[in-house]
Amino acid sequence: MSEGVRKASLELMKHLRDGFRIGLGSGSTMATFVSVLGEYVKERGLEVEVFPTSMQIGMVAEREGLKVLSTPQELDLAVDGADQVDRRLNLIKGGGGALLKEKVNLNASKLRFIIAGEEKLVDVLNADVPVEVHPFSRNYVLKELTRLGYRPRLRLLKKGYPYITENGNLIFDTEMGEIENPREVEERVKLISGVMEVGIFTMRIDGLYLTGDEGYRFIEGSRAL
């Protein structure tokens, strides 16, 4: 467990209130956050409901004794990680394949916070963008992404089988170069028939916790560069 992630998770508890409905992202950072959340809730006797975006985090939450539900309508707080974040707090997410549910949780929440390693911060987004695609449309989407000048690559498992999301879809990890206008690219790709979700996140983020081995620094959303 990274000490920086643990400390950032503890600091995030100041936003927590009894009765909160909390959206949980996926990945190792979120597993640490959920462990801290579980301890905090038990120590203070709080009642909260959590909405995990993957079976992985759902199982961690169950182990911590948290009340796990699905299909959120409105959340009080959402916490997630990121594969890459720019100085305006736009994100690339979906390395773990849970981008569709992660975007639902973040958009459904009143408060949104991201925990990510210092190395994830860049001036301009440039990592491969996961694009979640319905299997029926895979060839059409491949053609359309290529027509837009991108380089999509079907995500495969180690033995060569296609990676299947928990929603039953495929993922194209798509090289797009430097993304100067993330919102424009997000909207353009989302308009392709058969694209279920795109791993560019441009909604308002309330704050970013950038973590290191021993600690973290906080960037408030309103102060993003």
Q: What CATH number is attached to the domain comprising 26?
A: 3.40.50.1360
Burial 149-185 (b: 16+ CB within 10 A, else e): ebebeebeeeeeeeeebeeebbbbbbebeebeebeeb
Residues 60 and 88 in one domain: yes
**Does 102 participate in catalysis according to the annotation?**
yes
- pLDDT > 80? residue 92: yes
Paired tokens of 103: 């975007």
52 and 79 fall within a common domain: yes
Domain shared by 8 and 107, yes or no: yes
Confidence of residue 99 (pLDDT cuts 50, 70, 90): very high
64 pLDDT more than 70:
yes
pLDDT band at 224 (very low <50, low <70, confident <90, very high): low
Indicate if 176 and 93 belong to the same structural domain. no
State whether 23 and 46 are in the same domain. Answer: yes
Q: Are residues 55 and 103 in the same domain?
A: yes
Round to whole Å and give the CA distance between 58 and 25.
10
pLDDT 10s digits, 6-33? 999 999 999 999 999 999 999 999 999 9
The answer to whether residues 156 and 103 belong to one domain is: no
Do 134 and 112 have their domain in common?
A: no
Domain containing 31 equals: 3-119+202-223
Q: What is the pTM of this model?
A: 0.94
Same domain, 110 and 55: yes
* pLDDT band of 87, cuts 50, 70, 90: very high
Would residue 35 count as lying in a domain?
Answer: yes
Annotated catalytic residue, options 62, 74, 102, 187? 102
Domain count, the chain: 2
Q: Is the pLDDT of residue 192 over 70?
A: yes
Q: Are residues 193 and 209 in the same domain?
A: no
Residues 88 and 20 in one domain: yes
Residue 109 lies in a domain: yes
Tens of pLDDT, residues 127-167: 999 999 999 999 999 999 999 999 999 999 999 999 999 99
DSSP assignment letter at 162 = B
Report the distance separating Cα 133 and Cα 16, nearest Å: 35
Residue 124 included in any domain: no
**pLDDT at 225 exceeding the cut of 80:** no
Express as a percent the part of the chain with pLDDT over 90: 94
